Structure 1
């Protein structure tokens, strides 16, 4: 794989909508969305957020993320993180999150990058600390099916 990243383009949206493989995965990526993810839901989220970025390999979109909060000189909060099913476990999420940290640094002069991860999202819970994120809080939330879940909040201080 030769991974690159770029700002999202309208033509990327239908492919990204197919990444979440069920209501649980969509909840991890985008808690306010209703499964299945539609181009309208994703486009509305992108319009309200900053830094929407895709990871690409040979023209194929493999991953997506953005910032739901982007304060110049302050905090950038990572959201809507998702990787194509066929690309999982191959370093794509690591590449994506690293690219987003760089974007927070370069475009927003951010002091911190935050990410939140639900307790059932094992891949995320294992990845983020490897990339330097430290847990700082846990909030109770309600999953799409009404069950109680824990949202683990993590941050990375940027130098």
Structure 2
């Protein structure tokens, strides 16, 4: 298990055990292909897309992802 996976797994364990959460949510920019593949391999699924206008009027697409912790 790599460092990124270990960190994310630790956060998900705390969310489930300490706070009783049943779902874990995160956001990933569409330009972050490695991140999208990483989250997909861990079982995250996209559930929404948000488009944000940056200060210079460019658009940024953010993919909202979710994983059931149960």
After the TM superposition, which segments of 4 or more aligned residues of structure 1 sit over 6 Å from their partners? none
Partner in structure 1 of residue 51 of structure 2: 140
Alignment of 1:99-118 (within 5 A): 99-118=10-29
Task: Indicate the SS of the match to 1:135.
Answer: strand
TM-score by length of 2: 0.87
* Deviation string, structure 1 residues 84-132 (Cα, Å, up to 9, x no partner): xxxxxx8221111111111111111101000110111122111111111
Task: Indicate the SS of the match to 2:50.
Answer: strand
Q: Identify which of structures 1 and 2 has the higher relative contact order when contacts are C-alpha pairs closer than 8 Å and 6+ apart.
A: 2
The structure with more radius of gyration? 1
5+ unaligned residues in a row in structure 1: which ranges? Answer: 1-89
Report the RMSD for the aligned CA atoms in angstroms: 1.7
Aligned residues: 70
Per the TM alignment, residue 158 of structure 1 is displaced from its structure 2 partner at its CA by 1.5
Alignment of 1:1-159 (within 5 A): 91-143=2-54, 145-159=56-70
TM-score by length of 1: 0.41
Distance 1:139 1:147, change over 3 A: same
5+ unaligned residues in a row in structure 2: which ranges? Answer: none
Structure 2: how far apart are the matches of 1:134 and 1:144? Answer: 29
